[in-house]
Amino acid sequence: MALQVYIGGELYDKADAKISVFDHGLLYGDGVFEGMRSYSGRVFRLTEHLDRLWESARAIHLEIPMTKQAMGKAVQETLAANGIKDGYIRLIVTRGSGSLGLDPNRCQDPQVIIITDSIALYPEEFYREGLELVTAATIRNHPAALSPRIKSLNYLNNIMAKMEGLRAGCVEALMLNHKGEVAECTGDNLFILRRGRLLTPPIDAGILEGITRNAVLELAQQAGIVTAEIPFTRHDIFISDECFLTGSAAEVVPVVRLDGRPLGTGKPGPITLQLMQRFHELVHG
């Protein structure tokens, strides 16, 4: 059976899932999205993802043409139509079809698109042995220009940094903000362990407030691990005891090298492994 894609209240075969070439989501990246995971047919933190989608839309003055309840129901129905229990969900809301020009007032019919599929972001060996990062020369967009808390369809900033990582032989790249502080990676949030404290950059460092990031902070606190959201630099990563990334698709993945330098023991650390296990129990429980 062909993969079914939800567009505007209807399901279409993947090959027939189309929108207008005049949609401003395509022409200008004018729209918002969410990436979510389902485990055993249950969408992980669906409410939080929908809240963030609505907040992103509100921030760019885009009205989503359905309720959160209807969106949640559409997600479940699309998963069921594709027979997906453990998979990935991409929610997209575009500005809609308009004219060749920036004026969003000339757009009509915002498009709601739901894609469900299987995903394996990183090879299994990265979860066992850890992955390597390289620092990208491309910095995170200045938060005063566009809030990084808006999960918009314009991901060129991240893509440029991703290309740097891939050219260096790394599947992920570290991005700094305009102050030279650690922000996040191209698609994941970053954590380090230093002297028994679990640290992650704060929201005002120019990061997306990740759903998985917040879940891991909660799990760490429940385990009695001291956590802090504070600014830090590459120096702090180099001298850290452990490092890992979080994301809806990535889940929790260890980092063992940055810019050719080993981090900690050069292997996934005990706190990282503990949080990986706790997260696995959370999503499959």
pLDDT of residue 263: 98
The closest alpha carbon to 253, from 131, 170, 86, belongs to 131
Paired tokens of 158: 């991240």
Mention the CATH class of domain 4-117.
alpha beta
The closest alpha carbon to 170, from 261, 272, 280, belongs to 261
Domain boundaries, the chain: 4-117, 124-284
CB 227 within 8 A of CB 246: no
| Secondary structure class of 158 (helix, strand, coil) | helix
pLDDT of residue 119: 81
* DSSP element (H, E) containing 275: helix 270-284
Q: Burial-class residue 225 by CB neighbours within 10 Å (0-12, 13-18, 19+).
A: middle
Beta-strand pair 31-39/87-94:
antiparallel
pLDDT of residue 246: 98
8 phi-psi bin (left φ>0, alpha ψ -120 to 50, beta other): left
DSSP per residue, 234-264 = HHHHHT-SEEEEEETTTEEEEEEEETTEE-T
pLDDT of residue 211: 97
**Quick count: other Cβ atoms within 10 Å of Cβ 45?**
19
pLDDT of residue 175: 98
pLDDT of residue 14: 95
Write the DSSP symbol of residue 23: B
Instruction: Render each residue's pLDDT in the chain as its tens digit; 285 residues.
Output: 789 999 999 999 999 999 999 999 999 999 999 999 999 999 999 999 999 999 999 999 999 999 999 999 999 999 999 999 999 999 999 999 999 999 999 998 999 999 999 887 799 999 999 999 999 999 999 999 999 999 999 999 999 999 999 999 999 999 999 999 999 999 999 999 999 999 999 999 999 999 999 999 999 999 999 999 999 999 999 999 999 999 999 999 999 999 999 999 999 999 999 999 999 999 987
List the catalytic residues. 151
Rounded CA separation 201/199 (Å): 7
pLDDT of residue 96: 97
CB 62 within 8 A of CB 110: yes
Beta bridge partners of 145: none
pLDDT of residue 210: 96
**Phi first, then psi: what are they for 246, rounded to 5°?**
-135, 150
Rounded CA separation 33/188 (Å): 15
**Helices 68-81 + 46-59 axis angle, to 10:** 120
pLDDT of residue 285: 77
Q: Is the pTM of this model over 0.85?
A: yes
13 contacts: CB under 8 Å, gap ≥ 6:
2, 3, 4, 5
- Under CATH, what is the fold of the domain 124-284? D-amino Acid Aminotransferase; Chain A, domain 2 (3.20.10)
